[in-house]
Amino acid sequence: MRKTAVIGGGPAGMMAAFAAAKTDAVDLYEKNEKLGKKLYLTGKGRCNLSNTAEREEFLQNVMRNPRFLYGAFSRFSNRDLVALLETHGLPTKVERGGRVFPVSDKSSDVIKTLSGMLGQAGASVFLHTHVDAVLIENGRVLGLRMQGKTYPYDKVILATGGLSYPATGSNGEGYEMARAAGHTIRQPRPSLIPLVARDAALCRRLTGISLRNVTLSFYEKGKKRYEELGEMLFTHFGLSGPLVLSASAHIEDYAFCDTLVLLDLKPGLDAQKLDKRMLRDFSENSNKELKNALFKLFPRALCPEVVLQAGLDGEKAVHAVTREERRRLIAAIKAFRVPIEGTRCIDEAIITRGGVEVKEVDPSTMQSKLVKGLYFAGEMLDLDACTGGYNLQIAFSTGYLAGLGVWIA
């Protein structure tokens, strides 16, 4: 019987081992003390494992190389994943935005189900086991080297993850194995990550302020890359929260030469309605200083910052504010500026952007076009998507197809 080795016990690796075990003897190697260590943390421990979006909508949320996923998604879609997990005893539910979660809201239940599937399929799991290298000769996989010894394998699936959450074991070593096999590695970058503001003092003054129902627009060199309504948070270094993480997936220029976030603090009110609302509030607080008269519109700590961006005197009495000054206030409220100078380090990223160049991988099997018997899955590949369960589905789909690929190819 042919033997397949899977390196990495995350979602892609577990699904690959499960699919491959249908036809091959499969050994899964995980260097941690347990499977799914990073999966345990996803969705704040609730595990947003997929999204119900139809294929075309799903692929629109994939930022890099979406067309490469047609094969994987066709062989193992979001519906297939949910059906498979429910068949093995994990009921799921759908929440806002098509996000799929386990009914229990426990990522540990997802890991338990996947582990059980591996056992039922007959895959052997080796924990606390570090793989040093993939052995290749004459363009073909021969096996693995571990602790100075060689182990023969016909097929090897690399599913070691990216560089995010290094404490879970994602240290990029799989990229080095792929590079040693001759593959091009697109530079790993952080994605779905908080943004660092250029004006550190501004964010320190606003640290801890959470905004709901605001519209965030993300610009690079004057071009709008992203716009969405939702929630965000000011931190001591810059911006975080769902809107910000999603915006980070749209970064093109990692030099951050001219990068800007604009916040519409009152997207439900156009300029005319906002002016009427402001006049009403001002009439009730006519003797207050301007910086203290906007508290009904947004958090108090934000009021003087809006006034400052409008270029107005915050100590000016409200009754003396002119129509032109109100116009400038409205402009600042509808487009509050936060220039961006970078992201937090990749250790804090939810996912890694970059990885193995997909042009060097067969999209119908996930097998390397350079080395026969070598396969890739999950975050190893140059594939990344927005928040909402898309990235985990990519891991599951590419993992499943890689597992099938060991006997298709």
Question: Tokens in use for 293?
Answer: 């008269």
State the Cα–Cα distance between residues 405 and 24, nearest whole angstrom.
11
Residue 167 has pLDDT above 80, yes or no: no
Residues 385 and 62 sit within 8 Å (Cβ to Cβ) = yes
State the Cα–Cα distance between residues 205 and 182, nearest whole angstrom.
50
pLDDT at 409: 66
Q: pLDDT per residue over 3-50, tens digit each?
A: 999 999 999 999 999 999 988 899 999 999 999 998 998 888 899 999
| Confidence tier at 115 by pLDDT (50, 70, 90) | very high
pLDDT at 263: 98
Q: Cα angle at 330 between 329 and 336, to 5 degrees?
A: 80
pLDDT at 43: 81
pLDDT at 407: 84
- Residue count (the chain): 409
pLDDT at 166: 78
Average pLDDT, the chain: 95
Q: pLDDT per residue over 236-262, tens digit each?
A: 999 999 999 999 999 999 999 999 999
Residue from 402, 405, 409 nearest 7 by CA: 402
Kindly tell me the burial class for residue 138, based on how many C-beta atoms sit within 10 Å of its own C-beta (0-12, 13-18, 19 or more): exposed
| Whole-Å CA distances, 391 to 11, 217, 289, 353, 368 | 10, 23, 49, 11, 21
pTM: 0.93
Mean of pLDDT values over 48-69: 97
Percent of the chain exceeding pLDDT 90 equals 90
pLDDT at 1: 62
DSSP state of 43: G
Q: Where are the alpha helices (DSSP H) in 69-209?
A: 70-75, 78-87, 107-121, 173-180, 200-206
Residues 62 and 40 sit within 8 Å (Cβ to Cβ) = no
Question: Tokens in use for 322?
Answer: 């002119």
Q: pLDDT per residue over 370-402, tens digit each?
A: 999 999 999 999 999 999 999 999 999 999 999
pLDDT at 2: 76
State the Cα–Cα distance between residues 385 and 390, nearest whole angstrom.
6
Percent of the chain exceeding pLDDT 70 equals 100
Q: pLDDT per residue over 173-226, tens digit each?
A: 999 999 999 999 999 999 999 999 999 999 999 999 999 999 999 999 999 999
Mean of pLDDT values over 333-362: 96
Q: Are strands 133-137 and 336-343 parallel, antiparallel or unpaired?
A: unpaired
pLDDT at 84: 98
| Whole-Å CA distances, 270 to 131, 214, 234, 267, 278 | 59, 13, 24, 7, 12
State the Cα–Cα distance between residues 131 and 153, nearest whole angstrom.
13
Residue 69 has phi, psi (to 5 degrees) of -85, -5
pLDDT at 249: 96
Helix (DSSP H) and strand (DSSP E) numbers for the chain = 12, 21
pLDDT at 42: 85
